[in-house]
Structure 1
Amino acid sequence: MSAEFRTFLCRSDNVGVLLRDSRTGACAAIDVPEAGAVLRALDETGWRLTDILVTHRHIDHIEGIPEVRRATGARLTAPVKAREDVPDADVYVSEGDRVRVGDLEGEVWETPGHCLDHVTYHFAAAGLAFAGDTLFTLGCGRVMESPPETLWRSLRRFEGLPGATQIFSGHDYVLSNARFALAAEPGNAALRARAAEADRAQAEGRFLVPSTLEQERATNPFLRSAEPSLAESVDLPPGTEPEAVFVALRAWKNRF
């Protein structure tokens, strides 16, 4: 496939993403946390923005949209459940809808849990998933508008994807997520190596977004809730349902 991308920091810890179809030149911003950062990335790449794909309605993901649309004329796609907060979208999408960025085609997944309107854009042929605040490198989103089981069900949708799928999250929380993951699963050698990589990346001015699903399966405690060691970490007996382990892990992370 002809997919290119550029990631960059916005605000303090938001991750901005540009997705481009190199064949047609079409280019999408995944959310616009900060107009200036997105416009600078466009200037640096020379890419022309044609689309904005909104994952959810929170202000730190949509605040820069008006300025970027005025500057670029980009078409705005947003979750239909976010219509009240994003009232001027050109297209509203829900579960199973398709989006296009040039020749790149993505499917809309409704992935509530962090908030009720959250969606993920999965570009299967390109091996890319834009997960917003649902799935993070080494972590997952905070539950704000649903029972934690709702977020668990959303996370399980990622389990069936190929391991090479690149996961783009909406924030760079990698170091804090690594500290929690190590507390929850200190015996995980792959996790220790990933945490060390995160430290090196920060020292070099990088961050570990995107990650791959294979890496997350090996190191992300919220995707590893079936592991007996994680049940033990939250004082649950062996054989406890992974959903219950996830709920306990998420509650622990809230206090961590």
Structure 2
Amino acid sequence: MKLSAELKAFEARLGHEFQRPELLVRAVTHGSMTTVNREDNQRLEFLGDRVLGLVMAEALLDDDGDAAEGQLAPRYNALVRKEACADVAKEIDLGAVLKLGRSEMLSGGRRKQALLGDAMEAVIAAVYRDAGFEAAKALVLRLWGSRIKTVEADARDPKTALQEWAQARGFAPPDYVEQARSGPDHAPQFTIEARLDNGEAERATAGSKRQAEQLAAKALLTRLQKL
């Protein structure tokens, strides 16, 4: 199989030349493009999630030989969660080469965090299948880069951090209130407001309630810490 010019350029950004290019094609094929002769990336995503997890668990152990399991677990979660995968995907412009059905293209699928995160995991699995674990490990460590060293600052999710901030000051736990929902059923957008009982509040919009809550909590906590 010969890769398109776009996928060859992506190979260069990725830093891995595929001996089995069909693996890369499958990794960037979303379920909305599935046909009788075309497999989507869901099975590769399943495998890539496990490869990424093993690489990160080992990297964290190597990076901090004194850390207890209770310290390592939140760091691990921060590095492998879908948001982190999507951030890496954006850095290498994975969205530009995704093969999407018409409905996903029209709804902004190339920018969706969940879709990008899934595809990033599939690409990791494709490299693993193509060249083995060491190649996949090298890829992950290079793409995640300094995140491993700086993960401590991101280890707690924003909702947990905001709740701890509130409790330390005698406030009740934050409330998360859905303010609006828009978009089609297959690609909804949720606007969530994070609010404290002292009247402070921030809103955020995202493709899932969980993501919108996290973004709203992060925005509110960032502002409160500047006061």
Tell which structure's C-alpha radius of gyration is larger: 2
Asked if Structure 1 and Structure 2 have the same fold, meaning a TM-score greater than 0.5 normalized by the shorter chain, the answer is no
- Which has the larger share of helix? 2
Higher relative contact order (CA 8 A, sep 6+): 2
Q: What's the TM-score, normalizing by structure 1?
A: 0.27
- Which has the larger share of strand? 1
Q: What's the TM-score, normalizing by structure 2?
A: 0.29
